[in-house]
Chain A
Amino acid sequence: MAEFEIDERVDITDVVCPVTFVKAKVAMEELEIGQILAVRMNDGEPVQNVPRSFKDEGQQILKLINNEDGTYDLILKKIAE
C-alpha cells in the first residue's frame, strides 16, 4: 500500500455492529487532523455501513481495499474533529 502513508491502524473484525463503528471512531479520535487511519473490517454489514458512517461524521474516505481474505481496509483521512 505504497499509495497511502498510514499513521494508525485499527482492526474491527473482532467486534460486531454497532461496536464496529464505535471502535473505529475511538481510533479516529486519537488522530490529528490530516492523519491517515486504516480500518480493517469484515465483509458484509461492516463494509456496507462503516464507510457511510465515517462520511456522515465528516471524515474523508480515500480508498476501500479488498484484502481478498474476507476483510477490507478502509483508508480514511481525518479532516473533522
Chain B
Amino acid sequence: MAVDYATLKKGGFMRQKQKNNFSLRLQVVGGNLTAENLKKIAEVAEKYGDGHVHLTSRQSVEIPFIKLDNIDEVKDLLAEGGVKPGVCGPRVRTVTACQGNQVCPSGNIDSYDIAKEIDKRYYAKELPHKFKFGVTGCQNNCLKAEENDVGIKGASIVSWDKDACIMCGVCLKACREGAITEENGELKLDTDKCNYCGRCEKACPTDAWKGENGYIVSFGGLFGNKIHRGEELIPVVTSKEQLFRVTDAAINFFNENANPGERFHFTLERVGIDKFKEVINKAYQS
C-alpha cells in the first residue's frame, strides 16, 4: 500500500531523510508543557525514537526517528500523557506565546490565555497555505509578534489620575518614548508618541498611571524564504471580543482571497492592502 505522506504530514509526521523514519511534531500551545507531558514524550523518544527530541523554532517539540509501523502505538502512548500530534502543511500552525503577565513582570497581557483561545478557535484549520499566530506580552517583544501572519502584542492603555499623583517625576524618565511631559503641575500624555509599553504604569509609586489591557495586532508577517515585517493596520484593540472579531476577519479574508501556497503577505500585496484595510477596520469597529 502506498504511503499517504500528505495525511501523515497533516497529522504532524514529518518525513525524514531516512526512509520510513518520521519526525513527529507535537501540539504545543504557547510553549507550555506539563511535567506529565514531558515524561510521556521522554518515554516515547526512548522507546520509539532514538532517545532525543528537537525543540523547533516555534515552540513545538518533535520526536525524530519514529518508524512508520509504530505510528498508531506512538499516538496511543502519547495520549496517555495528554500529548497530541501537531500539524504541518496548509493550515493554522502552533500558536506561540511568551510567558505573559502571569509570570513575567513586564507583561501587559496574559499571553498564554490568549494563545489558548486562538488555538481553540483556529488550530489546524485548513487554509490555502500555512498560517501562524504569535502572542507577545509587551513591547519587549520576546515572542517576535511581527514575524507571524497575525501577531498580537500586549498593550497597556494608560491614563493619569491627578489625585493619586505625587509629581515625583519617575514616569517622565521611565517613559522611553518621551510621551509624558510636565506642564504647570500637570502631566500630559502625547498619545501619538505613546507605544503602550506600560512602563509609566509599572514604575509609578502611587498607581497614578492606570493601565487597561489592549492588543496591538500586526498582519502579514513572514520570516522564511521571504521576510516581511507584519504591519499594524488598525488602532490598538481594547477588548478580547474585538480582538477575536479582528482575527476572525483576517483568517476569513485569507481563506477567501489567497491562492493555494500563497502566504498572507503576498495575498495582501496581490489583492490590495486597501481592500483588506476596509474589511479589518469594519471588524474593528463593529
Contact = CB atoms under 8 A, between A and B. Distances in A.
Interface of A: 43, 47-48, 51-52, 55-56, 60-66, 72, 74
B188 interface: no
B168 A55 contact: no
Nearest to A54: B205
B245 interface: no
Given A51-B205, A61-B170, A64-B168, 17 more contacts: A47-B173, A48-B173, A48-B176, A48-B199, A51-B170, A51-B173, A51-B203, A52-B170, A52-B199, A52-B202, A52-B203, A55-B204, A56-B105, A61-B205, A62-B166, A64-B173, A74-B170
B233 interface: no
A65 B202 CA distance: 19
Contacts of A60: 205
A37 to B, nearest CB: 14
Instruction: Give the size category of B's interface with A.
Output: 10 to 19
A63 B105 contact: no
A60 B207 CA distance: 12
A52 B170 CA distance: 8
B260 interface: no
Contacts of A56: 105
A56 B223 CA distance: 37
6 contacts: A48-B173, A51-B205, A52-B170, A61-B168, A63-B169, A64-B173
Contacts of A65: 169
Among all A-B residue pairs, the 3 with the closest Cβ atoms: A61-B205, A64-B169, A52-B203
A62 B203 contact: no
Nearest to B200: A52
A51 B204 CA distance: 8
Most B Cβ at <10 Å: residue of A60, A61, A66: A61
A49 B92 CA distance: 39
A56 B203 CA distance: 9
B174 A51 contact: yes
Nearest to B176: A48
Nearest to A44: B173
A60 B170 CA distance: 12
Nearest to B174: A48
B174 A66 contact: no
A51 B166 CA distance: 14
A62 B166 CA distance: 8
Contacts of B174: 48, 51-52
